[in-house]
Structure 1
Amino acid sequence: MSDHRLPPPGTVVRRTTARVLPVRPDGRVLLLHGWDPLKPQTPYWFTIGGGVEAGETVVQAASRELREEVGVHLPIESLGTPVATNTIEYEWGGCLVIQHQTFFAAAVEGVDVTFANQEQLELETISAHGWWYGDDLEATGQAAHVTIPGLLRQAADAITLRRAS
């Protein structure tokens, strides 16, 4: 969440987010490893992204979040059209989050991931990054949401098709 502080527990947070699935030539997708600040003992893997800010398009937000969360600079055009959208509900920081998500797939080669531009709350709740195949992630049972392994497969397929055309 891009908020600088957590809303009071019990708050219902509705947010529109832009998410990015960077895909390497081998088909693996970059994810972040972190946890709910109230449940640090239960870490999970999740997609890069965050809230769309006022005056921003969804694709602009996706590009900014990619830069802020992992230090990857990609032109907006390289994100193409969304590969998926969904709305999920989950609990985070004691709040119910109802999150509409738009996912973009981006082809990347060698990427130097850095957490240098993350906000304090992100630094406190994100420990690592990793490159995953959807099937492997599914097998761990550690995806933040049940939809993520399938999204990784969709992103890899979209990039494979884009590279082939």
Structure 2
Amino acid sequence: MLTETRRVARIVLLDPDDRVLLLNGFEPRNPATTWWFTPGGGLEGEESREEAALRELAEETGITDVALGPVLWTRVCSFPFDGRRWDQDEWYFLARTTQTATDQRGLTELERRSVAGLRWWTSAELSATRETVYPTRLAELVRTLLDEGPPHVPLVLAPEIV
């Protein structure tokens, strides 16, 4: 059976202190299985990746005061979640904000069943954590972003198949 690849827009959101915002997700069927990930989700209707990124950020975090920057990275991933396999083509946008207070009242029903919260991470905290973070190289990618700025063309990350 062929599955359609879901087009996804994600945001690497940095605050004035260069902390990155991540959501804490878990498998609804096994809440002990947890991970951290960037805000974002699938495109709806005819919206652009930029529009989807900003909509998803607002829904998942309540943050709307953002300056959306360039696409940093792209990747293809595939993983089991909530009883099905998800195949995704993801674009990661850089964004900056001064709005650090969050509000998760906009979560979808599935997100309410699979998101435990969110937090701002420093680069050092991200590098030191033993928790699962997606994409798996996020700590290294954020450190390079902070040290060198955005890449001139988006980096293509290695596929992640779980």
Tell me by how many angstroms 1:11 deviates.
8.6
Partner of 2:106: 117
Say which of 35, 41, 46 aligns to 2:32: 41
RMSD: 2.3
- Structure 1 residues 11, 91: closer, same or farther in 2, change over 3 A? farther
When you count strand as a share of all residues, which structure comes out higher?
Answer: 2
- Structure 1 residues 96, 23: closer, same or farther in 2, change over 3 A? same
Partner of 2:89: 100
Tell me if 1:18 matches 2:9.
yes
Contact 2:63/2:99 (8 A) holds in 1: no
Tell me by how many angstroms 1:65 deviates.
0.5
TM-score, structure 2 as length reference: 0.80
Partner of 1:128: 117
Tell me by how many angstroms 1:91 deviates.
1.7
Tell me by how many angstroms 1:17 deviates.
0.4
Q: Please state whether the residue corresponding to 1:63 is helix, strand or coil.
A: helix
Tell me if 1:84 matches 2:73.
yes
Partner of 1:150: 140
Number of aligned residues: 148
Q: Please state whether the residue corresponding to 2:33 is helix, strand or coil.
A: coil
Partner of 1:70: 61
Q: Which runs of 5+ in 2 are unaligned?
A: 151-162
Tell me by how many angstroms 1:38 deviates.
2.0
TM-score, structure 1 as length reference: 0.78
CA distance in 2, matches of 1:135, 1:56: 35
AA aligned opposite 1:55: E
AA aligned opposite 1:83: L
CA distance in 2, matches of 1:18, 1:125: 19
Contact 1:80/1:105 (8 A) holds in 2: yes
When you count helix as a share of all residues, which structure comes out higher?
Answer: 1
Among all aligned residue pairs of Structure 1 and Structure 2, give the percentage whose two residues are the same amino acid.
Answer: 32
Tell me by how many angstroms 1:86 deviates.
1.1
Q: Please state whether the residue corresponding to 2:41 is helix, strand or coil.
A: strand
Tell me by how many angstroms 1:155 deviates.
4.8
CA distance in 1, matches of 2:8, 2:142: 17
Partner of 1:28: 19
AA aligned opposite 2:136: V
CA distance in 2, matches of 1:146, 1:134: 14
CA distance in 1, matches of 2:134, 2:27: 10
CA distance in 2, matches of 1:39, 1:155: 34
